[in-house]
Amino acid sequence: MKLLVVHPGPLMYTKVFLRLEPLGLELVAAAALAEGHEVRLIDLQVESQAAYFRVLARFRPDVVAFSGNYLANVPEIVDLAKASRALMPSARIVVGGHSASFIADTILAHGEGAIDCVLRGEGEAGVPLLLACLGRGGALTEVPGAVTLMGKGPQPRFVEDLDRLMPARHLLRHRRKYFIGPLDPCASIEFSRGCPWDCAFCSAWTFYGRSYRLRDPMRAAEELGTLREPGVFIVDDVAFVREEHGRAIGEAIASRGIRKQYYLETRGDVLLRHRDLFRFWTRLGLRFMFLGLEAIDEDGLRRYRKRVPLGRNFEALEFARSLGINVAINLIVDPDWDMTRFAAVRQWCLEVPEIVNLSVNTPYPGTETWETETRPLTTRDYRLFDIQHCVLPTRLPLAVFYRELVATQRVLNLKHLGWKTLRATSGIVAGHLLRGQTNFLKSLFSFNTVYDHDRLLADHARPVRYEVPRPGMARAARREALYVHHARGQRHRVLDARTERFVAETDGQAEADSPHRVRYGA
């Protein structure tokens, strides 16, 4: 069969800080290719909708599959699905991905018959089964993870072997368009999948059922050796949870003589627990790290059930500085902040050397905050669920809130973007220009055109055609009811006893007295 896989357009923050290759879709494409199907891939982060319709007309796929990883992309996906149905009445149109897996019925309702199925769970497992079902003339309700207007299929299946497939990177046009900070161009790679922790604001653990799986170190290093890009973003939710796994990958990289620059995400307690491992990776080329501190006070950490004590977070920052790693921090801005709180955070941002990103506290379907947040939504416009807009009531007038938010975000622009940073990175930028790369250079001067408090406020006045489902319409009676996948023992949660104890210990910190802890029935 002929399959066209589609990544939707860019979100607000991707217009400034990063643009990452659609690794998940490349893996879905690889799974379909392995079964003998013909596949095309288009990424609307870097191509236009006009380009999509040209591919649709030329390729004439049997199946069009949209990636619904981000809630803010849902209106775009639904409109493209409807337009595609009008042009290709016989094609099957499917939506999958992370966010889509939590709101399958709602997406089908938005589609008004244009969307045949929402495929929940991991796409590499589900898409080949869907294509096989269609090929033999079966009903979509036979497919694991499928949700249709006529009914649902069995539970979605895990990918049983993360090493079986190499991403179909050759299908992706414009590979030089992907970057993160100075890593320009930048490829992406996966070493592990899932997260064993359960932060209240996050849906990674609910999607994967708190599973945690690892790739074979030799296979990961083999894939890394095929990448032409000098920069590599490691997409793992928490890098190097298991020290021996991270070391084995590093040793395999060193033995092959692979030289790259790396950007990864991890937790402060994992960084401190595996100090020697991160020292080793700095010798391999680790240059950038994202740490989700989320708050700079103990009350904030309890609110988000981020169970790394505040002192340990600051200790982790000091250790990363000692390694010469450039660190980006995330803080969660709560709508309840007042001007005093914004001013205090602004001052802290000015005093620390790290890049400080701000995310607005946003309840998402699939997170525990979606189940427990008592404040009503002030909007259900999907496009505003991007952690840059506010969808909950604010203590300050909304216009003042956005003014304070952008003023605080401008600290990042003042310290890490613009002419000052261009002068400091002139050698790096010159190297980029010699290779024809301009992504990082453009990002240095994009902030003010994207982050504007008047524009943020005006976004709330746009007409709304599709709305996020109301929280509480299908509240989970049990924690496991949130799960998309259900882990089954050690096969899906490969933590040794020592690491399992570490996760359990950090799970226990501050949980009992967390005001946002979910109280589930038996």
Contact 188, 20 (CB under 8 A): yes
Angle at 375 (CA atoms; ends 372, 378), nearest 5 degrees: 125
If asked whether residues 212 and 91 sit together in one domain, one would say no
If asked whether residues 144 and 27 sit together in one domain, one would say yes
Domain assignment present for residue 281? The answer is yes
CATH assignment of the domain containing 86: 3.40.50.280
If asked whether residues 33 and 137 sit together in one domain, one would say yes
- Among 432, 459, 486, give the residue marking a domain's end: 459
Task: Return the number of other C-beta atoms located less than 10 Å from residue 515's C-beta.
Answer: 8
- Among 443, 459, 475, give the residue marking a domain's end: 459
Angle at 480 (CA atoms; ends 70, 157), nearest 5 degrees: 65
If asked whether residues 47 and 10 sit together in one domain, one would say yes
CATH assignment of the domain containing 384: 3.80.30.20
| pLDDT per residue as tens, the chain (522 positions) | 999 999 999 998 788 889 999 999 999 999 999 999 999 999 999 999 999 999 999 999 999 999 999 999 999 999 999 999 999 999 999 999 999 999 999 999 999 999 999 999 999 999 999 999 999 999 999 999 999 999 999 999 999 899 999 999 999 999 999 999 999 999 999 999 999 988 888 899 999 998 999 999 999 999 999 999 999 999 999 999 999 999 999 999 999 999 999 999 999 999 999 999 999 999 999 999 998 777 776 665 555 555 566 678 889 999 999 999 999 988 889 999 999 999 989 888 888 888 888 999 999 999 988 988 889 999 999 999 999 999 999 999 999 999 999 999 888 777 878 887 888 888 988 999 999 999 888 888 888 888 899 999 999 999 999 999 988 644 544 677 789 998 776 668 888 889 988 988 887 443 333 333 222 222
What pLDDT score was predicted for residue 513? 30
Domain assignment present for residue 480? The answer is no
If asked whether residues 428 and 363 sit together in one domain, one would say yes
- Amino acid code (one letter) for 483: Y
State phi, psi for 198 to the nearest 5 degrees. -140, 55
What pLDDT score was predicted for residue 415? 80
Structural Rg of the chain based on CA atoms:
22
Number of folded domains that form the chain? 2
What pLDDT score was predicted for residue 305? 53
What pLDDT score was predicted for residue 300? 58
Domain assignment present for residue 195? The answer is yes
State the Cα–Cα distance between residues 231 and 178, nearest whole angstrom: 10
- Residue 124 tokens read as 């590499």
If asked whether residues 79 and 190 sit together in one domain, one would say no
If asked whether residues 405 and 327 sit together in one domain, one would say yes
- Among 436, 459, 482, give the residue marking a domain's end: 459
Helix %, strand %, coil % of the chain (to 5): 45, 15, 40
Q: Which residue spans within 267-420 are E strands per DSSP?
A: 286-294, 326-333, 355-360
If asked whether residues 124 and 191 sit together in one domain, one would say no
Tokens 């889509």 belong to residue:
100
Domain assignment present for residue 145? The answer is yes
State phi, psi for 10 to the nearest 5 degrees. -75, 150
If asked whether residues 186 and 104 sit together in one domain, one would say no
Length of the chain: 522
Domain assignment present for residue 509? The answer is no
Could you list the residue range(s) of the whole structural domain that residue 133 is in? Answer: 2-152
Domain assignment present for residue 428? The answer is yes
What pLDDT score was predicted for residue 519? 25
Domain assignment present for residue 493? The answer is no
What pLDDT score was predicted for residue 212? 94
Domain assignment present for residue 358? The answer is yes
**What totals of helices (H) and strands (E) does the chain contain, helices first?**
22, 17
If asked whether residues 226 and 372 sit together in one domain, one would say yes
If asked whether residues 81 and 179 sit together in one domain, one would say no
Contacts of 493 (CB under 8 A, 6+ apart): 194, 196, 210, 211, 212, 213, 487
Task: Return the number of other C-beta atoms located less than 10 Å from residue 427's C-beta.
Answer: 8
State the Cα–Cα distance between residues 223 and 192, nearest whole angstrom: 14
If asked whether residues 349 and 204 sit together in one domain, one would say yes
